Amino acid sequence: MTDSLVSKPHRAPADSAEQALWTGLYTGALLMIVMIGALVAANRIPGLERYALERNGISYSLFTLFMMIPVCRFLTRPWHMFTSAMIGWLIFVVAYDLAGIYFANLFQVLRNPFQVLIEGAIVYGVFAVGSWVGEMILHARRHPMAPSRRRTNDASHRP
């Protein structure tokens, strides 16, 4: 009974930088899990070979869904979106590089880790810039930019 009467310390809400960090860490972990699952299913489970199209479709869908987590969470904050997304993408690229050690021909069949890093940065950069431009357009629509008129002094315009 006394436990319910004693108030537990209230934790202050996390600031935006901490939210971006945690979102990036979770996104990276999810992308890494999907990648490892897809690689194991494709290379180590021969019974799934006849379902390759469905297996790859599920993997692509999950990967795209998890890639969009930072974009959806920080849609109105492009800098946090890009920071969070790149944290997650760096985790994924490191896991991809390590997977290349275990799966011998991974980089010959797919892209090398540097190409993957650049592609992710471009995709997330386009989303962040699109969010920023969209926010600027909405701001301009809400606040019309009518020029202010200055009052002219009639005495100053006389010859």
112-135 pLDDT per residue, tens? 999 999 999 999 999 999 999 999
Encode pLDDT of 11-37 as tens digits: 544 577 899 999 999 999 999 999 999
Tell me: pLDDT of 4 over 60: no
Higher pLDDT among residues 152 and 83, named by residue: 83
Question: Rounded mean pLDDT of the chain?
Answer: 88
The string of DSSP codes covering the chain is: -HHHHSPPPPPPPPPHHHHHHHHHHHHHHHHHHHHHHHHHHHHT-GGGGGGHHHHHHHHHHHHHHHHTHHHHHTTT-HHHHHHHHHHHHHHHHHHHHHHHHHSTTHHHHS--HHHHHHHHHHHHHHHHHHHHHHHHHHHHHHS--PPPPPPPPGGGG--
Residue 158 confidence (pLDDT) above 60: no
Residue 157 is predicted with a pLDDT of: 57
**Confidence band (pLDDT; 50, 70, 90) for 151?**
low
Residue % of the chain over a pLDDT of 70: 82
- Mean predicted confidence (pLDDT) in 132-151: 82
Give the per-residue pLDDT at 145: 72
**At residue 10, does pLDDT exceed 60?**
no
- What pLDDT was estimated at residue 77? 94
The model's pLDDT over 60-76, given as tens digits with 9 standing for 90+, comes to: 999 999 999 999 999 99
Where along the chain do its domains lie? 16-142
